[in-house]
Structure 1
Amino acid sequence: MRIFNEFTFEAAHHLPHIFPDGHVNTRLHGHSFRVRVTLEGKPDARTGLISDLGVVKDAFDSALELLDHRYLNEIRGLETPTLENIAIWLWRHFAAVLPGLAQVGVYRDTCGEGCEYQGEYEKREVTA
């Protein structure tokens, strides 16, 4: 069974070294981001819950403090803030405090774009 919670944040960034000079994404710009965190597990027999969503909100709040209304390129680990790198960064932020973390999705709804990450690279790094 899976449960999820979502939050949004606003942030600015640019994507250096990816596109040719003059490309729109090389210039400073901002987005509204939506993040979905999905937890997987079996509901506890006593509580009926996979997880207390208050714990998920606390994890969101700590991420929001670092991301909301910020310049993402200045955040350690987000020097190249693509959707993919933001999803990996958030996975790392949440994995330590959210048992059962199954997926982190990062979406730019106004652009019709997103990235969903299940921690595959984290698993490879641990087993390698």
Structure 2
Amino acid sequence: MTDKELIETAKKALENAYVPYSKFRVGAAILTKTGKVYTGCNVEIASFGATNCAERTAVWKAISEEGKIEIEKIAIASDDDDYIYPCGICRQVMAEFANDDMKLLCTNKAGDYREIRFGDILPNAFRSF
């Protein structure tokens, strides 16, 4: 799957975001080393602590389908004019299932994107491996 195709998949995923409070829709699409793609969107509830980000939703879906996964790359999309990056919790979740060379495709509303090496946004990640 090309970077552009993965980004388009993430953009489609954000259409399902449930964000009645922030109105900030996010979609994510992950490509695993097996070649499968999983999507996620953010889901808010009144108790913000139980809200789930798009990236984690995609990871949970992948694990529920494949078991142990290795993420090859992930695309993140939103309606924002600025580039969207994963939050700290999502970065730590990704560290569990990706190595430092995993590619992050961070997009903006205009459709531009930046490719970032995972190890550059979470150096010295806490991992069991």
- Tell me if both proteins adopt one fold, taking TM over 0.5 as the criterion: no
Q: Higher Cα Rg: structure 1 or 2? A: 1
What is the TM-score with the length of structure 2 in the denominator? 0.38
Higher strand share: 1
